[in-house]
Amino acid sequence: MSRFRNLGVSGVKVSPICLGTMMFGGQTDTPTSVRIMHKALDQGLNFFDTADIYNAGQSEVVVGQALADRRQKVILATKGRGPMGEGPNDAGASRVHLRQAVDASLQRLKTDYIDLYYVHTPDYTTRIDETLRALDDLVRAGKIHYIACSNFRTWRLMEALWTSDRLNLHRFACIQPLYNIVNRDIEVELLPACHEHGIGVVSYSP
């Protein structure tokens, strides 16, 4: 796979296919997971996706192990916002939780930076400006390179972009929606909005 494309209007280049690792460290055992990732690398993929809630963090652990000696060659994406404990601040897109979640993901992935960090699902109990300020701080601290969102409705994405522009914060580089031949709702509003505003689309469950 020799062709790469920019992620939205960012300068980072990714393979057209991103390898999702939701089952790694769970239904797919560690040796098999590592073998799959190494085969993907050998075939030219440089884009890998995981999340802190996948198999209670074990997906991140396995991904970190598999990519440890090739870290500089890959674009590594993970996600936060989901419940990682039973405490009142162990979930959500608040400043408190996102800072904790990023640090925990870095530890599990055995890396000192995350290339692309998604807010996994919307958190309507937290103001979007708090979420974006927290993510902006994490970018400026060097822990994250690019920020993104997943499962956001069009209006929430537009609110986030407007807030980032108004407050001079880093913008979402891409969005991860459900999209396949059966689920095509994003064609109505979300895809045109992303095209208009330069937001990359990394669909899941294709």
Domain span holding position 23: 5-201
User: Percentage of the chain surpassing pLDDT 70?
Assistant: 99
What is the DSSP code (8-state) at residue 112? S
**pTM score:** 0.97
What is the DSSP code (8-state) at residue 171? P
69-92 residue pLDDT tens = 999 999 999 999 999 999 999 999
Question: Given pLDDT bands bounded at 50, 70 and 90, which one contains residue 1?
Answer: low
For position 136, what pLDDT does the model report? Answer: 99
Q: What is the number of structural domains in the chain?
A: 1
Q: Which two three-digit tokens encode residue 107?
A: 């530890």
Is residue 67 pLDDT above 70, yes or no? yes
How far apart are alpha carbons 28 and 31 in whole angstroms? 8
Mean pLDDT of the chain: 98
H helix or E strand, kind and range, residue 116: strand 114-119
For position 9, what pLDDT does the model report? Answer: 96
Give the mean model confidence (pLDDT) for residues 136-164.
99
For position 122, what pLDDT does the model report? Answer: 98
Give the closest residue to 138 by CA, choosing from 123, 157, 116.
116
Distances (CA, A) of 203 to 9, 81, 181, 184: 17, 19, 12, 11
Question: Given pLDDT bands bounded at 50, 70 and 90, which one contains residue 206?
Answer: confident
Distances (CA, A) of 71 to 36, 112, 123, 138, 143: 16, 10, 31, 20, 14
Q: Which two three-digit tokens encode residue 148?
A: 């993104």
CATH classification of the domain holding 66: 3.20.20.100
Known catalytic residues are 54
Q: Is residue 206 part of a domain?
A: no
Strands 5-6, 13-14: pairing is antiparallel
For position 2, what pLDDT does the model report? Answer: 56
For position 42, what pLDDT does the model report? Answer: 96
Q: Which two three-digit tokens encode residue 177?
A: 């929606």
103-116 residue pLDDT tens = 999 999 999 999 99
